[in-house]
Amino acid sequence: MKHLFIIALFSIQFSVFSQEKSAATQFWDALSAHCGKAYEGKLVSPESDPRFAGRLVMHVRSCEDGRLRIPFFVGDDRSRTWVLTMEGDLIKLKHDHRHEDGSEDKITQYGGTASNTGFSAMQIFPADQETTDLIPYAAGNVWWITVDETSFTYNLRRTGSETFFSVKFDLTTPIELPQAPWGWAENSN
In this prediction, residue 48 carries a pLDDT of 85
pLDDT of residue 180: 57
Asked whether the CA dihedral 180, 185, 187, 188 is positive or negative, the reply is: positive
pTM equals 0.84
Could you give phi then psi for residue 60, rounded to 5 degrees? -75, 85
pLDDT of residue 139: 96
Residue type, 21: K
The mean of the pLDDT values for the chain is 88
Between CA 124 and CA 11 the distance in angstroms is 34
Q: Which amino acid is at 42?
A: K
pLDDT of 188 over the 50 cut: no
**Per-residue pLDDT tens digits for 11-52:** 444 444 556 999 999 999 999 999 999 999 999 999 888 889
Q: What local confidence, expressed as pLDDT, does residue 163 receive?
A: 87
Q: Would you state the pLDDT for residue 177? A: 80
